[in-house]
Amino acid sequence: MQKKKAVIFGAGQGAKEVINLYPNYEIIFMVDMDESCVGKIFECNGGGYPIRNMDELANGGFDVIILSSLSLFDTSYNLCKKTYLIPDECIIFSHLELPIKARIAFLEAYSKIVDSKQISGSICEVGVFKGDFAKEICRVFPTRTIYLFDTFEGFDNRDIAVEIENKYSHEKSGHFSITSEYLVGEKLKNHPDVRIRKGYFPESFNIDGETFCFVNLDTDLYQPTLSGLKIFYPLMEKHGVILIHDYFSKKYFGAKAATDEFCAEYNLSVVPIGDTLSVALIK
């Protein structure tokens, strides 16, 4: 049986996972929004896949396009739909939905524990990006004060310097900058008490006399993850949870390094939550 021809949108680490997830498709080429990648060969499992200009999507010649990046899902999906007029049935992204659905399921289940045990405290997220998970947090905790920390300008060069020095990742400063404080605020405007703190974390942390029942650390990088654990763990209520994203990431190794370092110092343990990426630290 002849394989269907596929194009992968996104030539990052997620592309390797896509190649392994969809062996029944023939990957004919890849595209990426980073124009510096065009003309290069993406190597995986002993094979090589050419990275071409995105405008080649308009020429057709493939059956499906597979999106490989969750963080850039909105942008890549809209480009496929609105710019290159690719129909919904030809865009594959179900593999990107599974981790986020698992995180939301964990959030919903934990909120029931918060209610049943009457755990007090506010909610916080560090690493907000476009506010999609923050929106779920607001839905699940409709009456809690929610603090949101983000540069809203992407990765800071101070954190990237640590990444490069320790070979935790190959990211660049400014990545994840396609967001804004206003964009996030608009998504969450129906929640009665959202407090957005824009700036470099932990310098932007200026909260006194507050405790927390749930904190989501989604900073990807070593330094802000370690800072977040040091700041928030002492402020957690009993049975409170810190959710640490990217612990099992194959692209960002700093989050795991920071978490392991912190847990070793205080003799703590984390547990996976089933989304293939995150772990929970319970007070």
**Domain ranges, ordered by start, for the chain:** 4-92, 98-282
Task: Tell the CATH superfamily of the 98-282 domain.
Answer: Vaccinia Virus protein VP39 (3.40.50.150)
Q: Would you say residue 17 has pLDDT above 90?
A: no
Only one residue has tokens 């029942």, namely: 213
Listed in order, strand segments (DSSP E) in the chain are: 4-9, 25-31, 41-44, 47-52, 64-67, 91-92, 122-126, 146-150, 194-198, 212-217, 236-244, 271-272, 279-282
Give the separation between CA 8 and CA 268, rounded to whole angstroms: 40
Query: Mind listing the pLDDT tens digit for each residue in 214-251?
Result: 999 999 999 999 999 999 999 999 999 999 999 998 88
Length of the chain: 283
What integer best gives the mean pLDDT of the chain?
A: 94
Query: Mind listing the pLDDT tens digit for each residue in 189-201?
Result: 999 999 999 999 9
Contacts of 253 (CB under 8 A, 6+ apart): 167, 168, 169
Average pLDDT over residues 164-182: 92
Listed in order, strand segments (DSSP E) in 54-113 are: 64-67, 91-92
Query: Mind listing the pLDDT tens digit for each residue in 151-162?
Result: 999 999 999 999
Give the separation between CA 151 and CA 36, rounded to whole angstroms: 25
Which pairs count as long-range contacts for 259-263, CB under 8 Å and 24+ apart, including other chains?
259/225, 259/229, 261/226, 262/226, 262/229, 262/230, 262/233
Contact 159, 255 (CB under 8 A): no
CATH 3.40.109.10 fits 4-92, yes or no: no
Which helix (DSSP H) or strand (DSSP E) does residue 68 occupy?
none
Query: Mind listing the pLDDT tens digit for each residue in 76-129?
Result: 999 999 999 999 999 999 888 888 899 999 999 999 999 999 999 999 999 999
End-to-end alpha carbon distance in the chain: 54
Query: Mind listing the pLDDT tens digit for each residue in 30-71?
Result: 999 888 889 999 998 888 999 999 999 999 999 999 999 877
Neighbours of 97 (CB within 10 A): 11
Contact 227, 202 (CB under 8 A): yes
Contact 73, 81 (CB under 8 A): no
Tokens of 122: 């506010």
pTM (two decimals): 0.84
Tokens of 276: 């293939």
The DSSP secondary-structure symbol of 57 reads: G
